[in-house]
Amino acid sequence: MNYKVIFLFLFSTLCRADDGYRLWLKYDLIKDAGQRASYARSAQLIVLNSTRPVLKTAAEELQTGLQGLLGKPIPIVASAAGKTGSIILTVNPGQPQLNDEGYQILNRRNTITITGKTDSGVLYGVFALLRHLQTRQSIAQLSLTSSPKIQHRMLNHWDNTDASIERGYAGESLWKWYELPERIDPRYREYARANASIGINGTVVNNVNASSRFLTAEYLQKVASLANVFRPYGIKIYLSVYFPAPKTIGGLKTADPLDPEVNQWWTDKANEIYKLIPDFGGFLVKANSEGQPGPQDYGRNHADGANMLAKALAPHKGIVIWRAFVYKADGKADRFKAAYDEFKPLDGQFEKNVIVQVKNGPIDFQPREPFSPIFGTMPQTPLGMEFQLTQEYLGFATHLVYEAPIFKECLESDTYVGGKGSTVAKVIDGSLHEYKLTAIAGVANTGSDRNWTGHPLAQANWYAFGRLAWDHTLSAEALANEWVTMTLTTEPTSAKTVTDLLLKSREIYVNYNTPLGLSRPWTGVHFAPEPWQNRSSRPDWTAVYYHRADSVGLGFDRTVKGSHALAQYRPEVQRQWSNPETCPLPYLLWFHHIAWTKKLSTGRTLWDELCSRFYSGADSVGAMQKQWASVKKDIDPETFANVAGRLVTQQKEALWWRDAWVLYLQEFSKQPIPAPFKKPERSLKEVKELVEIYQLR
């Protein structure tokens, strides 16, 4: 082989390799010339008569996308001058049917008009049109109207000043604080593009376990420089704030929210921020939670704390997002009930620009949780949703878990707060209680890894979250298929196979990890199974606190005979869930302590059913590997190998989870492993030794 041939070979290999950096915005050339020509009929020119930044972004994004997909230059011009085949970008503040960020796309005689009520609406319309092309749909008679159902669609980054990410599994933080504001990493813009393409319009860049450093003049310059990058993409920046900042950086003796000097400090701070960042979004606050200070340290309540910040931000139209993730270190209490007990009495007491952000479930982002009862109880307080995209309890970045089914399950749950059909989605989109403020947040799964999310398929979680935040009625299946087609392959059979793989991944994970409503939010390593863990600085940070295995059975009794947490739900929900016969199996052990020998609706005893799920879950990972292998020819080799490797790890760890639970629980149940399953080959002691390795320093 001569050098020329070697070069050409290497070059073509490099061109082919896909490291995932381009996410779902690939815009590779459409191979089918006929299809290209049919799209091109309506896409000869982009017409934009404005230099406003978001509109400019819209035109340039459209140009980038079209040029890639159609393989030819598409000029941006100020006027179409009667030419057909143009795409006209236009803003019409009076456009009926649309809300502020909505768009309408119409194709009439090969002239496409994308109309937004605002500049952002046009940008979202552009991405919707590109999505149509990327998923190879016809645009000939296109007529699309869409408006976001929720106003604030945000990512929450748990990123620290030292570039570490709390519960981050895809490398370090994207934000290079030591380089900012002078050096702007080009990746910040790529991040903004990706978010805008799925409708995200806000980002909280730092950890809710916040450092007061972010509120110093030095750091605000850095934050402002990021805001400048995000602005042309319609994305506002927010900060998590450390409640005692008036003391730590303001030199005051107190951070009491009712103290006038403290109020003045926050007012001055807000003024300082808005001078630098005129469209700053607001503050996110974790207070009196897991050791974070807050208003209760001064005998005040959450509303006092939130309202003080809200008043400081109100003149600038900023908002306060106050988290409801609170629970006290009380071993006798049921942590499930804590947030509801603290927040329900405060309903209606928050300022108009406060939104209370509630995690989807009552405990903490478990593989499966019932919806938080708070959603059914605070009609006078805007409630926002907090989902977790990063896989803290879902196998980090090694296990494949497509999360849209988790989001949908919660959003579609019926709270009954306003009668049948009062879904969580209708609570948080404001339609049920006519909230003036609506929000949804995803704890980001992004990091400095080239492919952004560590596991290549975890990009689908970021994608699906954004799309659902825009429109929660979209199905998990449609979104999976959309993402796969835009990102991995347009070949329909393989796309269908990968979509199917994504869709079943969550249930498989639950089966080998926490079936039938088991939960596992203990401290430990968050990664490895430790059902035996019974020692910690606080009782609700042990495993045994949650699963309550004993010689009789398993599960946390939250009925009237137990902690009575069920009383926090509306009577219709209580009626169904408080009876073990009618409680859905996926939630059974969340609410009931069930005898090992009790026959379930499946016809098996609890013990046999658990074993069957642990074993079938672990086996299914093998089936997922086979399914992935079957699409090899249609997937980029680098991405294929990356996922294949992670599936091997997942298989190993699924067996590990299965063995840990089965061997540990068997010590209580004293039951044999039911046929056809075989007893694990290793002992409980051996599994424990494996876990210990992950705890070594």
Q: Which residues are catalytic?
A: 290, 364, 392
Among 256, 364, 429, 659, binds ligand GCV (CB under 6 A): 364
By beta-carbon proximity to ligand GCV, the closer residue of 152 and 286 is 286
| Least distance from ligand GCV to the Cβ atom of residue 695, Å | 16
| Least distance from ligand GCV to the Cβ atom of residue 150, Å | 20
How far the first Cα of the chain sits from its last, in Å, is: 51
- Is 490 among the residues that bind ligand GCV (CB under 6 A)? no
CA distance 459 to 465: 10
Site for ligand GCV in 132-161 (CB under 6 A): 158
| Least distance from ligand GCV to the Cβ atom of residue 304, Å | 20
By beta-carbon proximity to ligand GCV, the closer residue of 61 and 159 is 159
Q: Are 69 and 37 in contact (CB under 8 A)?
A: no
Task: Name the E strands within 493-606.
Answer: 553-554, 594-595
By beta-carbon proximity to ligand GCV, the closer residue of 231 and 359 is 359
Among 64, 209, 248, 625, binds ligand GCV (CB under 6 A): 209
Site for ligand GCV in 304-323 (CB under 6 A): none
| Least distance from ligand GCV to the Cβ atom of residue 521, Å | 7
CA distance 389 to 457: 12
Site for ligand GCV in 380-399 (CB under 6 A): 392
Q: Which amino acid is at 355?
A: I
Among 136, 167, 176, 189, binds ligand GCV (CB under 6 A): 167
CA distance 217 to 269: 9
By beta-carbon proximity to ligand GCV, the closer residue of 132 and 538 is 538
| Token code pair at residue 179 | 């380089």
CA distance 367 to 391: 9
Within 277-394, where are the H helices?
Answer: 302-313, 335-343
| Least distance from ligand GCV to the Cβ atom of residue 195, Å | 21
Of residues 89, 53, 60, the one with CA closest to residue 75: 60
Of residues 326, 319, 309, 327, the one with CA closest to residue 255: 309
Question: Within 13 Å of residue 692, how many CA atoms lie on the same side as its CB?
Answer: 6
By beta-carbon proximity to ligand GCV, the closer residue of 146 and 207 is 207
By beta-carbon proximity to ligand GCV, the closer residue of 222 and 359 is 359
By beta-carbon proximity to ligand GCV, the closer residue of 158 and 343 is 158
- Is 166 among the residues that bind ligand GCV (CB under 6 A)? yes
| Least distance from ligand GCV to the Cβ atom of residue 208, Å | 5
By beta-carbon proximity to ligand GCV, the closer residue of 30 and 326 is 326
Residue 662, burial from CB neighbour count under 10 angstroms (0-12, 13-18, 19+): buried
SS3 (DSSP) at 124: helix
- Is 286 among the residues that bind ligand GCV (CB under 6 A)? yes
Q: Are 644 and 635 in contact (CB under 8 A)?
A: no
Q: What is the DSSP string of 585-607?
A: GGGHHHH--EETT-B-TTSSBHH
Task: Name the E strands within 230-380.
Answer: 236-240, 282-285, 319-323, 354-359
CA distance 483 to 154: 19
CA distance 67 to 49: 20
By beta-carbon proximity to ligand GCV, the closer residue of 61 and 334 is 334
| Least distance from ligand GCV to the Cβ atom of residue 131, Å | 32
The site for ligand GCV, by CB under 6 A, has a size of 10
| Least distance from ligand GCV to the Cβ atom of residue 244, Å | 17
Of residues 586, 587, 607, the one with CA closest to residue 598: 607
599: left (phi over 0), alpha (psi -120 to 50) or beta: beta
Q: Are 382 and 430 in contact (CB under 8 A)?
A: yes
| Least distance from ligand GCV to the Cβ atom of residue 207, Å | 6
- Is 538 among the residues that bind ligand GCV (CB under 6 A)? no
Among 243, 325, 402, 596, binds ligand GCV (CB under 6 A): 325
Interface residues toward ligand GCV, by CB under 6 A: 158, 166-167, 208-209, 286, 290, 325, 364, 392
